[in-house]
């Protein structure tokens, strides 16, 4: 009877892991109040304020030499939703709903990706020794690296419900004026004033069909500064 007991041991382990993943955390909700689901696509929508136009997030070059890896910039067009992303747990889990404080990968979802194709579409933060104090968020992470690990933390109650901030092991994701007409560039910061508050908008229907003619992707592409 060795096999069944091994199996039940494994099942117990799996259950324990699932419980641990949840802990006291709660499901992250999209703008409509529905839980964020693994593999579903979302726009990360910066919250519009006096100093923030609420434009979407797009990959963009942040240095000219080298041009790659790309960074992430908030577009100056407030009506532009940016490029969709998907979330995935970094560790093994059977969980399909994203919980606050879980370690997740964030990945841009786009079939058109004309530059820096040797890099992945996963978000990471620069933890090279040459990194500035406010480390740039870059595109080109790898699934299990600590610099590709993000947490989604609750940032609002009541009227500000379903508002979140993203954080890393070294600070919170914020925005500073970038090189392209001052369009905000995403960095890791410990300055609360720079924290980027965001909401999640589920991508639905034809709006973001993954065909190459998708409206979203055409809009997103324009945001590559050299295109």
Ligand X SMILES: *[C@@H]1O[C@H](CO)[C@@H](O)[C@H](O)[C@H]1NC(C)=O
Does position 25 interact with ligand X (CB under 6 A)? The reply is no
Q: Which residues contact 22 (CB under 8 A, 6 or more apart)?
A: 95, 99
- Report the residue from 112, 127, 153, 194 that binds ligand X according to the rule CB under 6 A: 127
Window contacting ligand X (CB under 6 A); options: 3-11, 121-129, 165-173, 189-197:
121-129
Exposed, middle or buried: residue 50 (CB in 10 Å: 0-12, 13-18, 19+)? exposed
Please identify, among the stretches 74-82, 88-96, 122-130, 190-198, the one whose residues bind ligand X according to the rule CB under 6 A: 122-130
- Minimum distance between the CB of residue 67 and ligand X, rounded to whole angstroms? 15
Nearest distance from residue 26's CB to ligand X, in Å?
29
Number of residues that bind ligand X (CB under 6 A): 7
Which residue has 């369009």 as its token pair?
183
- Establish if 126 lies at the interface with ligand X (CB under 6 A): yes
Size of the chain in residues: 227
Cβ-Cβ contacts under 8 Å for 139 (sequence gap 6 or more): 59, 69, 70, 71, 72, 108, 116, 119, 120, 121, 122, 123, 124
Pattern of binders to ligand X over 135-164, x per CB under 6 A? ---x------x-x-----------------
CB 59 within 8 A of CB 119: no
CB 61 within 8 A of CB 183: no
Contact window for ligand X (CB under 6 A) among 28-36, 104-112, 125-133, 172-180: 125-133
Between 72 and 216, whose beta carbon lies closer to ligand X?
Answer: 72
| Pairwise CA distance, residues 170 & 132, whole Å | 13
Contact of 109 with 83, CB cutoff 8 Å: yes
Comparing CB distances to ligand X, the nearer of 142 and 210 is 142
Residue ranges that bind ligand X, judged by CB under 6 A: 124, 126-128, 138, 145, 147
């Amino acid at each position: 009877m060795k096999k069944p007991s091994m199996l039940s041991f494994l099942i117990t382990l799996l259950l324990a892991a699932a419980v641990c993943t949840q802990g006291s955390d709660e499901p992250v909700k999209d703008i409509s109040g529905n839980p964020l689901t693994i593999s579903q696509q979302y726009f990360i929508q910066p919250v519009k304020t006096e100093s923030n136009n609420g434009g979407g997030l797009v990959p963009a070059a942040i240095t000219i030499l080298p041009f790659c890896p790309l960074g992430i910039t908030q577009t100056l067009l407030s009506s532009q939703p940016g490029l969709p992303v998907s979330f995935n747990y970094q560790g093994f889990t059977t969980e399909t709903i994203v919980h606050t404080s879980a370690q997740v990968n964030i990945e841009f979802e786009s079939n058109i990706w004309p530059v820096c194709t040797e890099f992945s579409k996963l978000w990471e933060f620069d933890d090279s020794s040459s990194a500035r104090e406010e480390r740039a968020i870059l595109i080109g992470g790898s699934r299990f690296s600590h610099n590709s690990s993000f947490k989604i933390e609750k940032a609002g109650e009541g009227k500000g419900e379903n508002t979140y901030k993203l954080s890393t092991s070294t600070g919170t994701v914020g925005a500073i004026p970038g090189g392209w007409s001052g369009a905000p560039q995403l960095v890791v910061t410990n300055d609360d004033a720079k924290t980027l508050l965001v909401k999640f908008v589920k991508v639905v229907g034809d709006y973001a069909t993954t065909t190459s003619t998708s409206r979203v992707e055409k809009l997103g592409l324009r945001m590559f500064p050299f295109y």
